[in-house]
Structure 1
Amino acid sequence: MDTVVQERLSTKIQKAVRKTMKYIVDEHDVRARRFLPRNDLESILNKKRLEQLFRELLSNEYASDTATAIPTGSDTGSAEGHDSSIEIDSAVDTCVKATIGTGNVSRRALLALFLYQPHTRLLSLYVEWLTSGHPRIRKPSYDDHEIPCDKSIPFTEGDLETLNIPFTNHGYIMDYQTIFTPMTIRKFTHHDFKTRDRLPFLGAKEKIKDGSSGTVYKTNIAPGHWEFKTSDGRFLPENPDTSMVVALKIFKTIEGPWGTRDAKEVETDFNIERELLDSLRKRNISHRMIMLHWGSFSVRDADGIPSYHALIFELATFSLEAFLKDEECYRIFTDKSPVLAGLVDIVEALHCLHEHLGFFHLDIKPENILVFVEPESVHSGSNHEEGRKLIWKLSDFGLAREKGSTRERTGHRLSSSYYSSQPSTLPATRPAGLYQAPEIQSSSSSQAGPGSDVWSMGCVILMVLASIIEGPEGVTDLSSKLEVFFLNAAGKQKLFYVRNDSHSW
């Protein structure tokens, strides 16, 4: 029996699957996350290779079904050989068309499942399905609804029994089937996935930072698995040929310095931030320096219990914090006017957030201001970097609140009845950070509002000015001078103000 084509395609499929797991070392993660990208599936099982595969399979089938040997030189043998060639050609064409499919009915993923670790009986059954009713092939007859396709995946045990798939193959199919139907993510859409689903993220995720409500990672979406909606309502790949680099903010149950967060609390935090970002996106007024999400998804187990939630964002070049401390950036951007322009942009974005969108941020700091380095359409002079510009965006709305919001966020009991005549309305609960206003100290006595954002922005401006004047060294020097020592040897903290427990009045 000839299996050369089967083995060659099996090897290609296995290599493509392994490629998606680059740099992942945990074996459990490898088994749970590996998948075959859509582009690889279509490239490996293209029309030419499908013709070669089905010719091999059908030739083997025909040879095994021939009960009587026909003399080679006889007229009968010649006619029979000619007829068999016609039969195989016709059946190959039928199988190729049924595999590639039309509209939403395709069987490439199903065939890839049977080829991944080649199973002769499964491939034979696949050919049997597709040649059912063929006028020149004597096979059992199946109705169209009885023949599975890619949409039939994932199969249940009952499905496999109904399809008369040998019991010895059930375990293999149940274990491997979701590898071949990875999910597609649509821009500006929320998705609900199951833990069994294969998400289209390539390789290991790279951690960028831990935030107040989640951890941000850099990751790549496989080519063809990131779609956008066209004006006529269709969804098309935005990255048909290359992977899409994005930032993922993942919300998970954690133990941190301010306590633990269970699944219910995590889901509440995620829903608040997602709904807030959705609300900002739907407003008639927008500001391009306010960072909005590109989409979101939740992953739940078979019982509906959430595993984690994620927001998808455009990936920045770096945060303002990293930019201010980077010696190379200071040398490259010798002209400080783009830095000042970025500062003006971000102040205007905050004004828009307060006055036109009706939100306040409550966590403004260099870490939450993202910097994008974009090339100009025309580069000036011979220095390429001089032709690049800086785009600053206000990000991380994990603690933000809308006017009139009374919904509580877990761990940060922030409520609001914000109106222009009552600027301080949010009881704050977190210990004050370096860039947080003085009123953010205790849940019983302090109030936070838009003025708190203005204070924080003022502190950010001081750091930026220190960088413009003296570079990263100036930022480090200013930061070192902000240490406040508390009375009675109670420790120290970096603050932009002096507290009553740090000075003997």
Structure 2
Amino acid sequence: MASEKSYDNLCHDIYMRLYSQLERKDEERYRFAPAGTAKGVLHRDILMRFFQSLLSRRRNAIDEFGLSEEDLVHRINERQLHNFLAILMFATCRIQAAKIFTTQLVAGDEWPVMSSAGNKFHVLPAGREELLELFHDDIVTVDKFLTTQACFCPVTIQRREEVIVRSLEEHRLPYIAEKLLSQGSFGIVYKVKIAKGHFYDSRSETVNPDYTEIARKDYRISENAHIEHEIMGKILNSSSWECRNIVENYGSLHISPTKYSLFMPLAICDLMAYMREIRQTKPGDVIEKAKIIKSAIGLAAGLNFLHNKLKTSDEEDLVCYHMDLKPDNILIFRETSNNETNYIWKISDFGMARVKLRNRYHNSESERDFNSWFVQHKKTQDQSSLATLNRRGEGTYLAPESISAIPSMKTESDVWSLGCVISVVFTYLEEGGDGVARYQDARLKDNQADGIDRFFLRGTRFTSSKVHPIIKKWHSGLIDKAGQRDDREGRAVKFILRYLEKSVFEINQAKRDGVIAVEEALRETFRKYKELEAARENIPEKRKRLSSSVKPLRWHSSDDPQVERWNLFPSEAFKGCAISPDGNLVAYWTDDKISLYTSESLRLQNLHTASPASNYLLETKYNTTRMWKAVALTQRYLVASTTGGDFQCYIFKLEGGTSVDYSLDRCYKVSLPRSEISKLAISPDNKDLACILHNKEEPQSTSTLIRAPLSELIRIGEKPHNYPVKGALVNEFAIDDQLDTHDDDPWWLGKLDWPGTDITQFLFSTTSDIYLVVRPELTARSIEHKIPIIHIDLRTKRLDTLIIGSLGADSIPSSTLFTTFAPFRKQAATCAVVTREKQLHIQNLMGNGLSPAIQNRINNYRVLKLMMGWHDEKMFALGTPPASHKMLLLEMTIPQSGADKIYVKELAQLPGLSCDDEFVEMLSDDKSEQRHVLIATLAGANQCAIYRVPLLAS
């Protein structure tokens, strides 16, 4: 029979088998054996060897334990002792401990085996006293067991239930990976990947068959939390999770004594991030707008559910006041059915920071404020931003009664907040993400606002609060713009915005409509948009579907010999476009598709129509939280980043020999343990990718700049674990002397003092020069508008800033101060800037005094876009004459001093393009066979077009 040596060898073998199955095995503090690991490793043959290794010489199992090996194996399975035995073996406990385990817990007929204190020996995690009694005061064995057992006691998340864990010294958390997504006042949100078998649904009695990614929000619990804890339990198990517009509760984890985690599905993003960053361009047509209004109806329905339809599991009526409804707390989820993708808005962050609950027991009422349950996190704050009150919408959407000396927050307070959200959403529908930012600035600029962004102005000692006067003025502008485009749309916008002014934005909350009335007003607005959509669909089509047999043509002239135009086919809800620096490739993208257009992909039938040369569809069937976010394009590469909280990009190698060969077939997917990409740029020599990353700890205050060689990224895409790559191109710069450098990170460039959402332009001008344009916030210290333009020299690690400021405080929002800029091609750190659409500034950002600043006025034209000539000899611009919406391509002289007049020459008119449209432009390189300007527009799903204007030699 086997000897003690054979037991030791078997113990070593079992250790290695178990170790190979551990998750996070290289992190001793976090490693754990997923559910079923011990049972899978300790199968019949291994158990037979185990029991045989325990036998004394010339004795069999019946002599030793009173049962055969087969019976002992049966007992292990019957009594589910695999994990207990796995701990013994993984802790390399001596053979005497294994024999005690077999004699006491396996071979004995009495079951369960109880300690003298009445506790079951086999229940895990085991206590020290029970183990000492079981192993006859063998301290070494007990210490080894206690040190090891947490690895085999991972937590299982229970759907819709609370799991209580005494200590993480006894348990391990079931996360294969976790990534910080955001940090608020009361909680920190992570994306976590849960191991298979550790997400249990008691209703279906099933566990997750594969890894599951969900969101986890962590809180610290205050000392006086007992009553609120009970109330929270009722909310978590209430009928609210039956409403599709409220974020579902995936369960909770209470780790004694002070840590609490809530689990919920992963969203794509929140509403503010969607409007300001992910989909900055305004929706292109009434179909898109109707979908967004439908999502807003769902938002109102969710709030109605909290106010009027909420019940506990005991069928008690509840009324939940959210008290912090704002775009940041509205999460967006993707749902696909019948090949149609819809976005569902769901209310989040209730039962957390600012939620109140009122139980109605017959005629009695009681209220609880969840804020007292959770401890507020202390966030580091930059001293330079202390003057910016309620920065980034903190308190912006709260009702006037929130600042009362005796707050009387009711359901009507949520209705005020809902009205504010709707007002912002209709701003986005008309003016995109930039309009949302300008709306914020306009609210801040009022002299009575005192630098605080709210939808009301606080009263003084002798006057009462009042609705912010900018609200009605702003709404009127939105109504006028919609009406100029279509009278019917203008009436629809007027209906909902005037309703908000009359029935929601009331200082006296008793006069405000309830949420049901707001929901109905949104439904009526939606009906008006659907009627508008139907009316437009009945307009006879001006073009028919192209036949697949149409032969591709080169860029072809239209009736206007000066301008070539192609409407995109098929029409889609494009959210962005980019042009390669040589002016020969155009990329358009939606939330889930990228389309590449080349000269050979343009086809002609009646009107000029462009069909994509290649498409790439983002796989969203199994990952509903990803969508395209940013795209950078050169003649050799297309790089696209996605949402999702981490660094993920796709690199497409465009290696066609001719334009007809360009395609999106060759792709490298790169995922790295970094923050999410906010902005992208590719160097002119196609060697480097520059990225602006979110600061995951303070995403609303700073960001990070890195530069990664594309060759290294491609290599990582081929072999995902080669990161970071030592020896890669390293460049560092410091914005100030206090900035720490990251010598161990070969791609790190530096920390930026602005969030990625405020960086409006990001580009290479040469292989070693990068420009940023920043849209800053107004502050309470000063409402003077200042726009920083930053130049970074990657060779010298130098950062230079040009501040474009208004002349004192004026009435025009800061977003309209800066219009456009273009860096010089031959003069380092020098750029031309247009402000207020009329004023030209030319300045060297290094400020060495060799090139004094030049300021001139552009007469007779509004300049919207600026392009520098090939050799800095002239400029090209897109602009309009005064009091006109027609768009012109202009050629402009470059003044050499402030006394020089700027001469403007009209080159061509761009039919169908308006100054209100969104578009990008590019001047072809000087090696082009025929120099030209290429323009890609985002004027709407039925109007998106590519323009090409040939430039004659001069």
Scaled by the length of structure 1, what TM-score is found? 0.70
Indicate the residue corresponding to 1:138 in structure 2.
Answer: none
Indicate the residue corresponding to 1:77 in structure 2.
Answer: none
State the Cα distance separating 1:10 from its structure 2 match.
0.7
Indicate the residue corresponding to 1:423 in structure 2.
Answer: none
Whole-angstrom distance in 2 between the partners of 1:21 and 1:473: 47
Mapping for residues 210-225 of structure 1, pairs under 5 Å: 210-211=183-184, 213-225=186-198
Whole-angstrom distance in 1 between the partners of 2:61 and 2:250: 56
Instruction: Report the structure number with the largest CA radius of gyration.
Output: 2
State the Cα distance separating 1:281 from its structure 2 match.
4.1
Matched, 1:289 2:249: no
Q: Which moved more, 1:188-197 or 1:401-410?
A: 401-410
Matched, 1:409 2:384: no
Mapping for residues 241-256 of structure 1, pairs under 5 Å: 241-253=209-221
Indicate the residue corresponding to 2:223 in structure 1.
Answer: 263
Indicate the residue corresponding to 1:209 in structure 2.
Answer: 182
State the Cα distance separating 1:370 from its structure 2 match.
1.2
Indicate the residue corresponding to 2:142 in structure 1.
Answer: 170
Indicate the residue corresponding to 1:321 in structure 2.
Answer: 272
Matched, 1:492 2:456: no
Whole-angstrom distance in 2 between the partners of 1:98 and 1:329: 64
**Deviation per CA, 1:216-235, whole angstroms, max 9, x where unpaired?**
332233322222234xxxx7
CA contact (8 A) 2:125 2:150 kept: yes
Task: Sort the Cα spacing of 1:465 and 1:281 in 2 relative to 1 into closer, same or farther, 3 A.
Answer: closer
CA contact (8 A) 1:98 1:130 kept: no
Indicate the residue corresponding to 1:394 in structure 2.
Answer: 347
Which segments of 5 or more consecutive residues in structure 2 lack a partner in the other structure?
115-119, 311-318, 374-389, 465-954
State the Cα distance separating 1:460 from its structure 2 match.
0.9
Q: Which moved more, 1:185-194 or 1:390-399?
A: 185-194
Indicate the residue corresponding to 1:440 in structure 2.
Answer: 402
State the Cα distance separating 1:451 from its structure 2 match.
2.4
Task: Sort the Cα spacing of 1:16 and 1:321 in 2 relative to 1 into closer, same or farther, 3 A.
Answer: farther
Matched, 1:366 2:323: no
Matched, 1:99 2:76: yes
State the Cα distance separating 1:402 from its structure 2 match.
4.1
Indicate the residue corresponding to 2:91 in structure 1.
Answer: 117
Which segments of 5 or more consecutive residues in structure 1 lack a partner in the other structure?
25-29, 68-82, 133-140, 254-261, 301-305, 380-386, 414-429
Indicate the residue corresponding to 1:475 in structure 2.
Answer: 436
State the Cα distance separating 1:204 from its structure 2 match.
5.1
Whole-angstrom distance in 2 between the partners of 1:330 and 1:373: 19
CA contact (8 A) 1:216 1:248 kept: yes
Whole-angstrom distance in 1 between the partners of 2:64 and 2:175: 43
CA contact (8 A) 1:227 1:237 kept: yes
Indicate the residue corresponding to 1:108 in structure 2.
Answer: 82
CA contact (8 A) 1:484 1:493 kept: no
State the Cα distance separating 1:117 from its structure 2 match.
3.2
From 9, 13, 16, the counterpart of 1:8: 13
More strand by share: 2
State the Cα distance separating 1:199 from its structure 2 match.
5.0
Q: What secondary structure sits across from 2:367 in the alignment? A: coil
Whole-angstrom distance in 2 between the partners of 1:215 and 1:84: 55
**Deviation per CA, 1:4-27, whole angstroms, max 9, x where unpaired?**
54323212323444x2478x7xxx
Whole-angstrom distance in 2 between the partners of 1:188 and 1:161: 38
Whole-angstrom distance in 2 between the partners of 1:197 and 1:486: 59
Whole-angstrom distance in 1 between the partners of 2:106 and 2:371: 62
Whole-angstrom distance in 2 between the partners of 1:187 and 1:465: 37
**Deviation per CA, 1:358-403, whole angstroms, max 9, x where unpaired?**
4332211011111111222x32xxxxxxx32111112222333345
State the Cα distance separating 1:66 from its structure 2 match.
3.9
State the Cα distance separating 1:112 from its structure 2 match.
0.8
Whole-angstrom distance in 2 between the partners of 1:143 and 1:450: 60
State the Cα distance separating 1:188 from its structure 2 match.
2.2
Matched, 1:228 2:205: no
Task: Sort the Cα spacing of 1:142 and 1:276 in 2 relative to 1 into closer, same or farther, 3 A.
Answer: closer
CA contact (8 A) 1:106 1:149 kept: no
CA contact (8 A) 1:186 1:228 kept: yes
State the one-letter code of the partner of 1:361: H
More helix by share: 1
State the one-letter code of the partner of 2:188: T
Matched, 1:460 2:415: no
Matched, 1:42 2:3: no
State the one-letter code of the partner of 1:123: A
CA contact (8 A) 2:15 2:90 kept: yes
Whole-angstrom distance in 2 between the partners of 1:172 and 1:275: 41
Q: What secondary structure sits across from 1:370 in the alignment? A: strand
Task: Sort the Cα spacing of 1:87 and 1:197 in 2 relative to 1 into closer, same or farther, 3 A.
Answer: closer
Indicate the residue corresponding to 1:180 in structure 2.
Answer: 152
Task: Sort the Cα spacing of 1:4 and 1:485 in 2 relative to 1 into closer, same or farther, 3 A.
Answer: farther
Whole-angstrom distance in 2 between the partners of 1:503 and 1:494: 22
Whole-angstrom distance in 2 between the partners of 1:281 and 1:351: 11
State the Cα distance separating 1:182 from its structure 2 match.
2.8
Scaled by the length of structure 2, what TM-score is found? 0.39
Task: Sort the Cα spacing of 1:208 and 1:333 in 2 relative to 1 into closer, same or farther, 3 A.
Answer: farther
CA contact (8 A) 1:272 1:409 kept: no
Task: Sort the Cα spacing of 1:54 and 1:369 in 2 relative to 1 into closer, same or farther, 3 A.
Answer: same
Higher RCO structure (Cα 8 Å, ≥6 apart): 1
Task: Sort the Cα spacing of 1:292 and 1:97 in 2 relative to 1 into closer, same or farther, 3 A.
Answer: same
State the Cα distance separating 1:271 from its structure 2 match.
4.2
Task: Sort the Cα spacing of 1:437 and 1:220 in 2 relative to 1 into closer, same or farther, 3 A.
Answer: same
Matched, 1:194 2:127: no
Whole-angstrom distance in 1 between the partners of 2:300 and 2:104: 65
State the Cα distance separating 1:145 from its structure 2 match.
4.8
Aligned length: 416
Whole-angstrom distance in 2 between the partners of 1:9 and 1:501: 76
Give the aligned CA root-mean-square deviation in angstroms.
4.0
Task: Sort the Cα spacing of 1:348 and 1:368 in 2 relative to 1 into closer, same or farther, 3 A.
Answer: same
CA contact (8 A) 2:355 2:370 kept: no
Whole-angstrom distance in 1 between the partners of 2:10 and 2:200: 33
Indicate the residue corresponding to 1:344 in structure 2.
Answer: 297
CA contact (8 A) 1:51 1:96 kept: no
State the Cα distance separating 1:87 from its structure 2 match.
11
Whole-angstrom distance in 2 between the partners of 1:336 and 1:276: 34
State the one-letter code of the partner of 2:215: A
Task: Sort the Cα spacing of 1:480 and 1:12 in 2 relative to 1 into closer, same or farther, 3 A.
Answer: farther
State the one-letter code of the partner of 1:9: I
Q: What secondary structure sits across from 2:197 in the alignment? A: coil
State the one-letter code of the partner of 2:11: Q
Whole-angstrom distance in 1 between the partners of 2:88 and 2:456: 67
CA contact (8 A) 2:357 2:368 kept: no
Whole-angstrom distance in 1 between the partners of 2:15 and 2:345: 48
Whole-angstrom distance in 1 between the partners of 2:179 and 2:12: 35
Whole-angstrom distance in 1 between the partners of 2:453 and 2:14: 61
Task: Sort the Cα spacing of 1:493 and 1:246 in 2 relative to 1 into closer, same or farther, 3 A.
Answer: same
